[in-house]
A and B are shown apart, each in its own frame.
Chain A
C-alpha cells in the first residue's frame, strides 16, 4: 500500500529532515512511526500525503506515485493531522458535508456516509452542534470521520492522541483498532507515546534524525532487550541503602542499577531469580523493603537503545517542523526562523548553565537554613558545603558507600532515562500498561 525507497528531504539551510528513508506498509497493516521530536515523523507524513515535496527517492501510496500523480493519491488517502482541521464555527454535519464536497461526492452519498460515520464514532447526538461545543476527544473523532468520508484506502494519523486525556486516548485506540480490523484499513501513524505504538501497531518503525533505525513487531523489539526491571522502594535511606546498591554491583546477573528519587531500578537478566536474591540481600543489610515491582522491558527501553534519546519536550516538534514547511519558499520567513533558532540556542546554552548553578546555590541555601533536615538532598548539599559538621561525617560515609551507583542527587543527569525524571511517577505510568498486557 505504501512503498517508500531512498526518500530524502533537505530543508532550506541543508538540514536533512528525512535521510534515505525506505519502508513498506502492507495492505491492512498498522505501522507506527515512533521517534523523538524532530525525528522527521511529521515531515514523512507530509511527503506521503502530497503536502510536502522531497529531494530524492521514490514514494508510492495506494499504487500511485506521489510526485507524478498527486491527485490520485489524494483521492485514495485520508489524513488526520496534528492540528484538528475541523472548523469550529461549523457543525459536525457541515464539516463532514464540506469534506465530502471537496472530494466531489454527490449529496446522497455524502449523507449516507455521514449517517454511517456518525454512528460509528458515536457522534449522532452532537452532529448538529457547532464543533466549538465538542470536547477534545470528540473533535478528534470528528476529524477522523472527515478523513474517512471518501472511504480512503490508506489513513494517515499524525500523533492522533496528542493532548487527549487517558480515557479519550484509549477510546480512540479502540476506534482505530476497529477500523483496521473491520474495514481492513491500512494505517500509518506517528506517535511518541510508546504505549500507543505498542498497543496499536502491527509493526513499529523507530525513526531518528530522519532515518529508520529499525522496523519490527513490538514483541520482537522488546525481546531484543533481554531481562526484566525490578523497582525497589525502601522504608528509609541511609548508609545501608548505599551498601546495598554497592553490593549489587558485584553481582554479575545484575546489569544495571539506577536510582530515581527514592526508587531503585535494577535491571536483571531474569526477574524471577533476581527478586529473592535482592530480598535476601536487603535483609542482610538490615533494610526494609517498602515496595517491590517487577516488569517486562517496554518499548521505552527499546527506544532508548536505538535512538539514545528521550521522548520529552512534547510539542516542540510540531511548531518547529510546521514552521519549516510554510517558511519554505518565502524569502524572509526562513531567515527569521534561523536567527530565532540561533538566539534560542544561545539562550538555552547560557540558560541551563546559569540555571544549574543557581539551582545548586539555592539548594545549599535552603539546606543551611534547615539543619535538622535528614533528607538525601540535605546530605548532598552538606558534602559540597561543609558548614554542618555534625552531619558531615555521616554524609561522607554514605558518599563513599554509594560511590559507584548513581546518587539520588544526580537528577540533572536524568534525561538519560526515558522517563525524564521530572515526575517520579512517570516511570510507573509507562510500566503499568505493559503489565496489564
Chain B
C-alpha cells in the first residue's frame, strides 16, 4: 500500500510540476490577503495581539488560509480523473484502494506546505517578526501538513459523494470562507462577539492557527501547540477515514 501510494504520489507531483502556473495562482490569494490586511489593520493599536504588531499576529492566519485554499479543491481533480477514466484504470489494477485516496491527499498536503513556506518568505520580507529556527518551523509545518491532509480528504470525500463539479465547488466556497472568518486567523478571540467565539471553538481552523501561532510568534508555547496538533491529528484522521470509506463505496 505504501509503495502504491508513493508511485501515485510521484505521478501527481510530476503532473503538478508540469503546470507550475496553477500552483502559483493559488498563492496569489493569500498574498493579497497578507498585503491588504496587514496594511488595513496596521493601526489597530487596541487589538490585543500580545504586544506584537498585527502582521506578526496575522501571518499564522495567512499560512493556514493558504492551506485552506490550497487543499480544499483537491476533489475537483479527482472528479476530472474519474471522468477521464484514470480512476477506472487504477481500479482494474490490483493497486490498493486506500493508496489512491492517500496519494492524492498527501500530494495536496505537501503542495500546501511548500506554498506556505513561500508565503512565509514573503511575510518575512514584509518585516514580520517570526521564530524561524528549524524546530519551530518544522512544528508549524507539521500542523499545516495535517490540516492540508484533513481538508484535502474532506474535499475528495465530498467529490465522491456529490459526483459533480458544480456542487463541489459550491461546497468548497461555502466551507472555506466561513471557516476562515469564524476562526482566530484574522482576529484574536478577545475581539470576537460571543457567538463567533463559540463557533471558533469548534472550528478546526482555529486550532490549526493557534498551534502555528504558538510556535512561530512570540515565546513558543508548546502546550497550546500540542493541543492544536492533537486536534489536527484527529481531524486529519477522521477526514481521511471518511474519504477512504466513501471511495470504497464507489463500487456499485
Write the residues of chain A forming the contact surface with B, with a CB cutoff of 8 angstroms. 49-53, 71, 74-75, 77-79, 81-90, 94, 98-99, 101-104, 130, 146, 323-333
Please state if B162 and A332 are interface contacts (CB–CB under 8 Å): yes
**Distance in Å from the Cβ of A130 to the closest Cβ of chain B?**
7
Within the assembled complex, what's the spacing in Å between the Cα atoms of A75 and B19? 33
A104 CB to closest chain B CB (Å) equals: 7
Taken together as a complex, chains A and B put the C-alpha atoms of A50 and B3 apart, in Å, by 22
Tell me the complex Cα distance, A74–B84, Å: 20
* A-B CB contacts (within 8 Å), total count: 102
CB pair B252 A329 closer than 8 Å: yes
Residues in A with CB closer than 8 Å to B163 are 323, 326-327, 330, 333
Chain A residues contacting B86 (CB-CB under 8 Å) are: 85-87
Q: Are B252 and A328 in contact (CB under 8 A)?
A: yes
Contacts of A329 in B (CB 8 A): 249-250, 252
The 9 closest A-B pairs by CB, nearest first: A85-B89, A328-B252, A83-B85, A85-B85, A102-B93, A101-B7, A102-B95, A89-B15, A79-B92
Return the contact of A87 from the options B11, B92, B249 (Cβ within 8 A): B11
Q: How large is the interface on B (under 10, 10 to 19, 20 to 34, 35 or more residues)?
A: 20 to 34
Across the interface, which residues of A come within 8 angstroms of B84, CB to CB? 83-85, 88
- In angstroms, how far is the closest chain A Cβ from the Cβ of B15? 4
A87 touches B88 (CB 8 A): no
Known contacts A98-B7, A327-B163, A330-B161; is-contact A84 B252 (Cβ 8 Å): no
Least CB separation from A130: chain B residue: B18
- Kindly list 18 other residue pairs between chains A and B, CB separation below 8 angstroms, not including A83-B85, A85-B85, A326-B82: A51-B92, A52-B252, A78-B92, A79-B89, A79-B92, A85-B86, A87-B15, A87-B86, A88-B84, A90-B15, A102-B8, A102-B94, A325-B252, A328-B251, A328-B252, A332-B161, A332-B162, A333-B164
Q: CB of B4 within 8 A of chain A?
A: yes
Residues of A close to B18: CB separation below 8 A = 89, 130
CA distance A276 to B174 in the complex (A): 77
Interface of B: prevailing SS: helix
Specify which chain A residues have a CB less than 8 angstroms from the CB of B161 in the assembled complex: 330-333
Whole-angstrom distance between the Cβ of B82 and the nearest chain A Cβ: 7
B217 to chain A, nearest CB (A): 39
Given A75-B94, A102-B94, A327-B163: A53 and B85 within 8 A (CB)? no
User: Which of A84, A103, A328, A331 is within 8 Å of B93, CB to CB?
Assistant: A103
Residues of B within 8 Å of A78, CB to CB, are 92
CB of B160 closer than 8 Å to a CB of A:
yes
The residues of B that contact A88 with a CB separation of less than 8 Å are 84
* Complex Cα spacing A77 to B91, Å: 12
Which listed residue (A51, A79, A83, A328) contacts B83, Cβ 8 A? A83
A282 to B246 alpha-carbon distance, docked (Å): 70
Per a CB cutoff under 8 Å, which of A53, A83, A104, A328 touches B94?
A104
B76-110 vs A, Cβ < 8 Å mask (1 yes, 0 no): 00000011111111111111000000000000000
Task: For the complex formed, measure the closest distance between the CB of B147 and the CB atoms of chain A, giving whole angstroms.
Answer: 26
B251 & A52 in contact (Cβ 8 Å cutoff): yes
Q: In the complex, what residue of chain A is closest to B7 when comparing beta carbons?
A: A101
Contact with A along B92-134 (1 / 0, CB 8 A): 1111000000000000000000000000000000000000000
